[in-house]
């Protein structure tokens, strides 16, 4: 099975169909193909990671967390991701917080979160997508954007330019649904290897509010994988950096992990 796999908020896929579709002469179609190919770079059934998350406040103070993440496609090809907080310096009460997102193709994803302080699993409403994910610079929409279908946006190639010495397509993506948190996303995608190095996120007023960057890539099991990513909130002067310490492809993950029941118990 060819898996649709997520490392936190960065989708890594490999898409044969996207390569074939690139023969189209339509500029907007080609832009969509480039975005889809970027999200389909790596062939894997599952991904398991352990990462260090550093949240940096405006005054430079930092909070460190250890997170595990498991990703695996469902029976209909829908992407499923579980995130678990294993350790937290501050706030300490987020230890054992667990989050599950399941892709709904063409619709809002299903999301649940277990907060130890509440002692129960709660479903996250679609209207809560812009809320902060466990006091980080990521929103629930940002987490879901990892498996966001390219069909939900209109894409166009704005220009071509170098980014960190790499020739890139600069693609502007506009959500078709006005209820989405952002009004525009601008992406720098490597022309040679389809790596999405940077994404600028704009709010409803057209203000550039966040930037997502891949800071380090590494070959893992023959796959070029993002190892350090950073989300910066420009309007607040804060950032969240995630460094992957352990990454495994194709390791078995029990089906029961991707259920609200697992969020509550932490046991497959």
49 pLDDT exceeds 50?
yes
Both tokens of residue 255? 């089906």
pLDDT > 90? residue 29 = no
Residues in CB range of 239: below 8 A, 6 or more apart: 55, 56, 137, 230, 231, 232, 233
For 5-265, CATH number out of 3.30.70.100, 3.40.50.300, 2.50.20.10, 1.20.1250.20 equals 2.50.20.10
CA distance 49 to 245: 7
Contacts of 99 (CB under 8 A, 6+ apart): 82, 83, 84, 111, 112, 113, 114, 133, 134, 143, 263
Q: Which uninterrupted H or E stretch holds 189?
A: strand 184-190
Mean pLDDT estimate for the chain:
83
Most confident of 90-94, 131-135, 146-150, 247-251: 247-251
Q: Is 108 helix (H, G, I), strand (E, B) or coil?
A: coil
Phi/psi region, residue 112 (left: phi>0; alpha: psi -120 to 50; beta: rest), is beta
Average pLDDT estimate for 143-161: 80
Query: Mean pLDDT, to the nearest integer, of 61-83?
Result: 90
pLDDT computed for residue 97 by the predictor? 92
pLDDT at 149 > cutoff 60: yes
Element (H, E) at 85: strand 79-88
Domain boundaries, the chain: 5-265
Q: CA–CA separation, 136 vs 125, rounded Å?
A: 19
The pLDDT of residue 5: 42
Given this model, what pLDDT does residue 128 score?
A: 55
Q: How confident is the model at residue 12 (pLDDT cuts 50, 70, 90)?
A: very low
Q: How far is the CA of 183 from the CAs of 29, 138, 168, 189, 194, in angstroms?
A: 20, 17, 22, 19, 24
The count of C-alpha atoms lying within 13 angstroms of the C-alpha of 75, restricted to the half-sphere facing its C-beta, is 2
pLDDT tens-digit readout, 172-231: 999 998 878 899 999 999 999 999 999 999 999 999 999 999 999 999 999 999 999 999
> What pLDDT is recorded for position 228?
95
As a whole number of Å, the CA-based R_g of the chain is 18
Return the structure tokens found at 16: 């044969």
pLDDT of residue 126: 65
Whole-prediction pTM value? 0.83
Could you report the per-residue pLDDT of 81-123, keeping only the tens digit for each?
999 998 877 667 788 999 998 887 767 778 899 988 888 999 9
Confidence of residue 8 (pLDDT cuts 50, 70, 90): very low
Question: Is residue 146 predicted with pLDDT exceeding 50?
Answer: yes
DSSP summary character for residue 93: G
């Amino acid at each position: 099975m060819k898996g649709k796999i997520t490392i936190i908020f960065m989708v890594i896929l490999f898409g044969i169909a996207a390569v074939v579709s690139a023969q189209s002469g339509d500029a907007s179609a080609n832009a969509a193909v480039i975005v889809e190919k970027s999200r389909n770079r790596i062939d894997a059934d599952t991904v398991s990671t352990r990462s260090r998350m550093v949240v940096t406040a405006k005054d430079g103070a930092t909070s460190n967390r250890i997170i595990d993440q498991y990703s695996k496609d469902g029976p209909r090809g829908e992407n499923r991701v579980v995130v678990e907080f294993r350790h937290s310096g501050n706030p300490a009460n987020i230890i054992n917080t667990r989050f599950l997102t399941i892709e709904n193709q063409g619709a809002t994803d299903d999301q649940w979160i277990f907060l130890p302080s509440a002692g129960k699993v709660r479903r996250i409403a679609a209207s809560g997508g812009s809320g902060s994910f466990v006091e980080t610079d990521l929103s629930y929409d940002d987490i879901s954007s990892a498996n966001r279908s390219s069909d939900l946006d209109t894409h166009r190639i704005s220009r071509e330019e170098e980014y960190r010495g790499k020739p890139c397509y600069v693609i502007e993506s506009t959500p078709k649904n006005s209820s989405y948190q952002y009004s525009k996303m601008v992406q720098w995608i490597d022309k040679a290897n389809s790596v999405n190095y940077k994404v600028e996120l704009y709010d409803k007023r057209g203000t550039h509010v966040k930037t997502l960057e891949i800071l380090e890539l590494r070959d893992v099991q023959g796959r070029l994988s993002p190892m350090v990513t950073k989300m910066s909130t420009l309007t607040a002067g804060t950032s969240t950096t995630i460094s992957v310490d352990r990454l495994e492809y194709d390791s078995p993950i029990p089906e029961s992990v991707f259920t609200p029941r697992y969020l509550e118990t932490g046991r497959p």
